[in-house]
Amino acid sequence: MRARSFWPLLMVLVLIAGACAPATPAAPGATATPAAAQPKEIVLGLSLSTLNNPFFVTLKEGAEKAAAQYGVRLIVVDAQDDPAKEAANIEDLIQKKVSALLINPTDTKAVVPSIQKANQAGIPVFTVDRAAEGGEIVSHIASDNVAGGRMAAEFLCKALNGKGKVVELEGIPGTSAARDRGKGFNDYLKEQCPGLEVIARQPADFNRAKGLQVFENILQAQPQIDGVFAHNDEMVLGAIQAAEAAGRTGIIFVGFDAIDDAVKAVKEGKLAATVAQQPAEMGRLAVEMAVKYLRGEKVEKFIPVPLSLVTKETVK
Protein backbone atom coordinates (compact mmCIF):
# COMPACT_ATOMS: atom_id res chain seq x y z
CA MET A 1 0.00 0.00 0.00
CA ARG A 2 2.86 2.40 0.82
CA ALA A 3 4.56 1.72 -2.56
CA ARG A 4 1.35 2.51 -4.43
CA SER A 5 0.81 5.82 -2.57
CA PHE A 6 4.39 6.94 -3.33
CA TRP A 7 3.94 7.23 -7.15
CA PRO A 8 1.05 9.72 -7.18
CA LEU A 9 2.97 11.90 -4.73
CA LEU A 10 6.07 11.80 -6.95
CA MET A 11 4.03 12.86 -9.99
CA VAL A 12 2.63 15.92 -8.17
CA LEU A 13 6.14 17.00 -7.14
CA VAL A 14 7.39 16.75 -10.76
CA LEU A 15 4.52 18.89 -12.05
CA ILE A 16 5.14 21.58 -9.41
CA ALA A 17 8.84 21.69 -10.23
CA GLY A 18 8.09 22.13 -13.94
CA ALA A 19 5.71 25.00 -13.28
CA CYS A 20 8.28 26.83 -11.15
CA ALA A 21 11.19 26.39 -13.58
CA PRO A 22 12.46 29.58 -15.36
CA ALA A 23 11.38 30.13 -18.96
CA THR A 24 13.78 28.86 -21.60
CA PRO A 25 15.48 31.78 -23.43
CA ALA A 26 14.48 32.19 -27.08
CA ALA A 27 16.92 30.75 -29.56
CA PRO A 28 19.11 33.26 -31.43
CA GLY A 29 17.28 34.60 -34.50
CA ALA A 30 13.83 33.70 -33.20
CA THR A 31 11.13 36.40 -33.49
CA ALA A 32 8.63 37.34 -30.83
CA THR A 33 5.06 38.38 -31.57
CA PRO A 34 4.91 42.15 -30.88
CA ALA A 35 2.16 43.76 -28.88
CA ALA A 36 -0.46 45.61 -30.95
CA ALA A 37 1.09 48.91 -32.23
CA GLN A 38 -0.47 52.10 -30.97
CA PRO A 39 -1.71 54.39 -33.81
CA LYS A 40 0.73 57.26 -34.43
CA GLU A 41 -0.57 60.74 -33.63
CA ILE A 42 -1.32 62.78 -36.74
CA VAL A 43 0.23 66.24 -36.59
CA LEU A 44 -0.54 68.65 -39.45
CA GLY A 45 1.41 71.83 -40.17
CA LEU A 46 -0.62 74.69 -41.67
CA SER A 47 1.51 77.44 -43.23
CA LEU A 48 -0.56 80.54 -44.04
CA SER A 49 0.56 83.46 -46.20
CA THR A 50 -0.83 85.95 -43.68
CA LEU A 51 -3.19 86.26 -40.74
CA ASN A 52 -3.58 89.98 -41.36
CA ASN A 53 -6.46 89.23 -43.74
CA PRO A 54 -9.87 88.09 -42.45
CA PHE A 55 -10.11 85.56 -45.29
CA PHE A 56 -7.16 83.55 -44.00
CA VAL A 57 -8.26 83.89 -40.38
CA THR A 58 -11.52 82.20 -41.42
CA LEU A 59 -9.58 79.54 -43.33
CA LYS A 60 -7.51 78.85 -40.20
CA GLU A 61 -10.65 78.55 -38.08
CA GLY A 62 -12.15 76.05 -40.53
CA ALA A 63 -8.96 73.98 -40.36
CA GLU A 64 -8.87 74.11 -36.55
CA LYS A 65 -12.48 72.97 -36.32
CA ALA A 66 -11.81 70.05 -38.65
CA ALA A 67 -8.65 69.09 -36.75
CA ALA A 68 -10.66 68.89 -33.52
CA GLN A 69 -13.33 66.84 -35.28
CA TYR A 70 -10.79 64.33 -36.61
CA GLY A 71 -8.77 64.22 -33.39
CA VAL A 72 -5.51 65.44 -34.96
CA ARG A 73 -3.06 68.12 -33.84
CA LEU A 74 -2.71 71.28 -35.96
CA ILE A 75 0.29 73.63 -35.85
CA VAL A 76 -0.42 76.99 -37.53
CA VAL A 77 2.33 79.38 -38.69
CA ASP A 78 2.00 82.85 -40.25
CA ALA A 79 4.37 83.95 -43.06
CA GLN A 80 3.21 87.59 -42.83
CA ASP A 81 3.33 87.78 -46.65
CA ASP A 82 7.11 87.26 -46.52
CA PRO A 83 8.52 84.37 -48.63
CA ALA A 84 11.69 84.21 -46.49
CA LYS A 85 9.65 83.88 -43.29
CA GLU A 86 7.48 81.30 -45.00
CA ALA A 87 10.57 79.24 -45.89
CA ALA A 88 11.80 79.41 -42.27
CA ASN A 89 8.35 78.41 -40.98
CA ILE A 90 8.14 75.40 -43.29
CA GLU A 91 11.69 74.35 -42.41
CA ASP A 92 10.70 74.42 -38.72
CA LEU A 93 7.62 72.26 -39.43
CA ILE A 94 9.80 69.78 -41.34
CA GLN A 95 12.19 69.61 -38.35
CA LYS A 96 9.19 68.93 -36.13
CA LYS A 97 8.45 65.92 -38.39
CA VAL A 98 4.81 66.83 -38.97
CA SER A 99 2.71 64.13 -40.62
CA ALA A 100 1.69 66.41 -43.51
CA LEU A 101 2.05 70.03 -44.62
CA LEU A 102 -0.85 72.25 -45.68
CA ILE A 103 0.62 75.28 -47.47
CA ASN A 104 -1.04 78.52 -48.56
CA PRO A 105 1.91 80.02 -50.47
CA THR A 106 2.98 83.66 -50.38
CA ASP A 107 4.46 83.17 -53.86
CA THR A 108 3.90 80.25 -56.24
CA LYS A 109 7.59 80.10 -57.31
CA ALA A 110 9.35 81.06 -54.08
CA VAL A 111 7.66 78.24 -52.14
CA VAL A 112 8.94 75.48 -54.46
CA PRO A 113 12.30 74.80 -52.67
CA SER A 114 10.45 74.41 -49.36
CA ILE A 115 8.03 71.93 -50.92
CA GLN A 116 10.95 70.00 -52.40
CA LYS A 117 12.57 69.81 -48.94
CA ALA A 118 9.34 68.38 -47.55
CA ASN A 119 9.24 65.88 -50.43
CA GLN A 120 12.79 64.77 -49.59
CA ALA A 121 11.79 64.36 -45.95
CA GLY A 122 8.88 62.13 -46.99
CA ILE A 123 6.25 64.60 -45.76
CA PRO A 124 3.16 64.82 -48.01
CA VAL A 125 2.25 68.35 -49.12
CA PHE A 126 -1.16 69.86 -49.82
CA THR A 127 -1.69 73.41 -51.16
CA VAL A 128 -4.65 75.56 -50.12
CA ASP A 129 -6.25 78.50 -51.99
CA ARG A 130 -3.01 79.28 -53.87
CA ALA A 131 -1.08 76.77 -55.95
CA ALA A 132 2.66 76.11 -56.22
CA GLU A 133 4.61 75.93 -59.47
CA GLY A 134 6.75 72.95 -58.52
CA GLY A 135 7.41 70.16 -56.07
CA GLU A 136 5.24 67.12 -55.51
CA ILE A 137 1.73 68.08 -54.35
CA VAL A 138 -0.75 65.43 -53.18
CA SER A 139 -3.79 67.66 -53.67
CA HIS A 140 -4.70 71.31 -54.27
CA ILE A 141 -7.77 72.63 -52.45
CA ALA A 142 -9.08 75.89 -53.88
CA SER A 143 -11.77 77.83 -55.66
CA ASP A 144 -11.62 78.01 -59.44
CA ASN A 145 -10.11 81.50 -59.51
CA VAL A 146 -10.26 81.75 -63.29
CA ALA A 147 -14.01 81.11 -63.14
CA GLY A 148 -14.30 83.70 -60.37
CA GLY A 149 -12.53 86.30 -62.48
CA ARG A 150 -14.89 85.58 -65.36
CA MET A 151 -17.85 85.88 -62.98
CA ALA A 152 -16.69 89.34 -61.91
CA ALA A 153 -16.14 90.45 -65.51
CA GLU A 154 -19.58 89.25 -66.57
CA PHE A 155 -21.24 91.17 -63.73
CA LEU A 156 -19.32 94.36 -64.52
CA CYS A 157 -20.05 94.03 -68.23
CA LYS A 158 -23.80 93.76 -67.62
CA ALA A 159 -23.80 96.54 -65.01
CA LEU A 160 -22.12 98.91 -67.49
CA ASN A 161 -24.18 97.73 -70.48
CA GLY A 162 -21.06 96.52 -72.25
CA LYS A 163 -19.27 99.89 -72.47
CA GLY A 164 -16.98 101.88 -70.19
CA LYS A 165 -13.55 102.44 -68.68
CA VAL A 166 -12.49 100.08 -65.90
CA VAL A 167 -9.60 99.63 -63.50
CA GLU A 168 -8.12 96.34 -62.31
CA LEU A 169 -6.44 96.20 -58.89
CA GLU A 170 -4.18 93.17 -58.87
CA GLY A 171 -3.10 90.96 -55.98
CA ILE A 172 0.45 90.05 -55.00
CA PRO A 173 2.48 89.40 -58.16
CA GLY A 174 3.54 85.77 -58.36
CA THR A 175 0.51 84.35 -56.54
CA SER A 176 -1.72 81.93 -58.40
CA ALA A 177 -4.82 83.73 -57.09
CA ALA A 178 -3.78 87.05 -58.66
CA ARG A 179 -2.73 85.39 -61.90
CA ASP A 180 -5.86 83.25 -62.27
CA ARG A 181 -8.39 85.92 -61.26
CA GLY A 182 -6.77 88.36 -63.66
CA LYS A 183 -6.78 85.79 -66.44
CA GLY A 184 -10.46 84.98 -66.00
CA PHE A 185 -11.39 88.66 -65.87
CA ASN A 186 -9.40 89.73 -68.91
CA ASP A 187 -10.23 86.65 -70.99
CA TYR A 188 -13.94 87.31 -70.51
CA LEU A 189 -13.63 90.98 -71.50
CA LYS A 190 -11.66 90.05 -74.60
CA GLU A 191 -14.06 87.30 -75.64
CA GLN A 192 -17.45 88.60 -74.50
CA CYS A 193 -17.22 92.29 -73.64
CA PRO A 194 -14.71 94.18 -75.81
CA GLY A 195 -16.53 97.45 -75.09
CA LEU A 196 -15.01 97.57 -71.60
CA GLU A 197 -11.54 99.15 -71.72
CA VAL A 198 -9.06 98.46 -68.91
CA ILE A 199 -7.44 101.88 -68.54
CA ALA A 200 -5.28 101.04 -65.50
CA ARG A 201 -3.99 97.81 -64.05
CA GLN A 202 -1.81 97.92 -60.93
CA PRO A 203 -0.90 95.61 -58.03
CA ALA A 204 -2.10 96.55 -54.55
CA ASP A 205 -0.92 93.30 -52.94
CA PHE A 206 -4.29 92.14 -51.53
CA ASN A 207 -3.93 94.94 -48.94
CA ARG A 208 -6.57 97.55 -47.99
CA ALA A 209 -4.14 100.38 -47.28
CA LYS A 210 -2.32 99.75 -50.55
CA GLY A 211 -5.64 99.54 -52.38
CA LEU A 212 -6.49 103.00 -51.07
CA GLN A 213 -3.08 104.43 -51.98
CA VAL A 214 -2.91 102.90 -55.45
CA PHE A 215 -6.46 103.93 -56.33
CA GLU A 216 -5.85 107.49 -55.09
CA ASN A 217 -3.10 107.78 -57.70
CA ILE A 218 -5.28 106.23 -60.41
CA LEU A 219 -8.13 108.64 -59.61
CA GLN A 220 -5.78 111.58 -60.08
CA ALA A 221 -4.56 110.23 -63.42
CA GLN A 222 -7.91 109.12 -64.84
CA PRO A 223 -10.79 111.62 -65.13
CA GLN A 224 -13.27 108.89 -66.14
CA ILE A 225 -13.58 105.58 -64.31
CA ASP A 226 -16.79 103.61 -64.66
CA GLY A 227 -15.90 100.39 -62.90
CA VAL A 228 -13.28 98.67 -60.74
CA PHE A 229 -12.47 95.00 -60.29
CA ALA A 230 -10.14 94.15 -57.40
CA HIS A 231 -8.64 90.69 -56.94
CA ASN A 232 -9.81 90.72 -53.32
CA ASP A 233 -12.15 92.62 -51.01
CA GLU A 234 -9.43 94.25 -48.94
CA MET A 235 -8.18 96.18 -51.99
CA VAL A 236 -11.64 97.12 -53.23
CA LEU A 237 -12.63 98.43 -49.80
CA GLY A 238 -9.53 100.63 -49.83
CA ALA A 239 -10.45 101.83 -53.32
CA ILE A 240 -13.97 102.72 -52.17
CA GLN A 241 -12.46 104.81 -49.34
CA ALA A 242 -10.25 106.63 -51.84
CA ALA A 243 -13.19 107.37 -54.15
CA GLU A 244 -15.29 108.68 -51.26
CA ALA A 245 -12.46 110.92 -50.07
CA ALA A 246 -12.01 112.29 -53.60
CA GLY A 247 -15.74 112.85 -54.06
CA ARG A 248 -15.85 110.56 -57.08
CA THR A 249 -19.25 108.91 -57.52
CA GLY A 250 -20.91 106.61 -60.01
CA ILE A 251 -18.12 103.99 -59.99
CA ILE A 252 -19.23 100.34 -59.88
CA PHE A 253 -16.94 98.33 -57.59
CA VAL A 254 -16.56 94.54 -57.67
CA GLY A 255 -14.46 92.55 -55.20
CA PHE A 256 -13.52 88.97 -54.45
CA ASP A 257 -13.81 86.85 -51.25
CA ALA A 258 -17.03 88.09 -49.60
CA ILE A 259 -15.38 88.92 -46.27
CA ASP A 260 -17.68 90.41 -43.61
CA ASP A 261 -16.74 94.04 -44.34
CA ALA A 262 -17.41 93.51 -48.04
CA VAL A 263 -20.80 91.92 -47.43
CA LYS A 264 -21.66 94.90 -45.23
CA ALA A 265 -20.56 97.26 -48.03
CA VAL A 266 -22.83 95.37 -50.47
CA LYS A 267 -25.77 95.85 -48.09
CA GLU A 268 -24.95 99.56 -47.84
CA GLY A 269 -24.80 99.91 -51.64
CA LYS A 270 -21.12 100.91 -51.68
CA LEU A 271 -19.91 97.66 -53.24
CA ALA A 272 -21.90 96.32 -56.19
CA ALA A 273 -20.75 92.71 -55.94
CA THR A 274 -18.15 90.35 -54.53
CA VAL A 275 -17.26 86.84 -55.62
CA ALA A 276 -17.86 84.65 -52.58
CA GLN A 277 -15.32 82.03 -51.69
CA GLN A 278 -15.66 79.64 -48.76
CA PRO A 279 -12.43 79.93 -46.75
CA ALA A 280 -13.73 77.92 -43.79
CA GLU A 281 -14.65 75.11 -46.19
CA MET A 282 -11.17 75.29 -47.74
CA GLY A 283 -9.58 74.89 -44.32
CA ARG A 284 -11.91 72.03 -43.45
CA LEU A 285 -11.29 70.20 -46.71
CA ALA A 286 -7.52 70.65 -46.46
CA VAL A 287 -7.47 68.90 -43.08
CA GLU A 288 -9.94 66.25 -44.22
CA MET A 289 -7.94 65.40 -47.36
CA ALA A 290 -4.69 65.21 -45.40
CA VAL A 291 -6.21 62.87 -42.79
CA LYS A 292 -7.75 60.65 -45.47
CA TYR A 293 -4.45 60.42 -47.34
CA LEU A 294 -2.50 59.59 -44.17
CA ARG A 295 -5.03 56.85 -43.40
CA GLY A 296 -4.46 55.26 -46.79
CA GLU A 297 -7.47 56.61 -48.67
CA LYS A 298 -7.36 57.93 -52.23
CA VAL A 299 -7.44 61.73 -52.64
CA GLU A 300 -8.14 63.68 -55.85
CA LYS A 301 -5.41 65.96 -57.23
CA PHE A 302 -7.74 68.97 -57.24
CA ILE A 303 -10.55 69.61 -54.77
CA PRO A 304 -12.70 72.50 -56.07
CA VAL A 305 -14.57 74.72 -53.63
CA PRO A 306 -17.73 76.30 -55.14
CA LEU A 307 -18.06 80.04 -55.81
CA SER A 308 -21.08 82.35 -55.85
CA LEU A 309 -21.74 86.03 -56.52
CA VAL A 310 -22.94 88.25 -53.68
CA THR A 311 -24.99 91.26 -54.79
CA LYS A 312 -27.62 93.46 -53.14
CA GLU A 313 -30.23 91.08 -54.54
CA THR A 314 -28.61 87.90 -53.19
CA VAL A 315 -26.96 89.09 -49.97
CA LYS A 316 -28.31 87.60 -46.75
Query: Is the separation of the CB atoms in 217 and 211 below 8 Å?
Result: no
Each residue's pLDDT expressed in tens, for the chain with a length of 316 residues? 444 444 444 443 444 444 444 443 333 333 333 334 446 899 999 999 999 999 999 999 999 999 999 999 999 999 999 999 999 999 999 999 999 999 999 999 999 999 999 999 999 999 999 999 999 999 999 999 999 999 999 999 999 999 999 999 999 998 999 999 999 999 999 999 999 999 999 999 999 999 999 999 999 999 999 999 999 999 999 999 999 999 999 999 999 999 999 999 999 999 999 999 999 999 999 999 999 999 999 999 999 999 999 999 999 7
Q: Do 52 and 79 meet the contact criterion of CB atoms below 8 Å apart?
A: no
Residues 6+ apart with CB under 8 A from 142: 127, 128, 129, 130, 131, 282, 302, 303, 304, 305
What CATH superfamily classification does 145-276 receive? Response regulator (3.40.50.2300)
Decide if 43-142+279-305 and 145-276 have a common fold. Answer: yes
With CA atoms as reference, report the closest residue to 241 among 212, 203, 207, 209. Answer: 212
Would you kindly state where each structural domain of the chain is located, as residue ranges? 43-142+279-305, 145-276
Classify 199 as helix, strand or coil.
Answer: strand
May I ask the CATH class of domain 43-142+279-305?
Answer: alpha beta
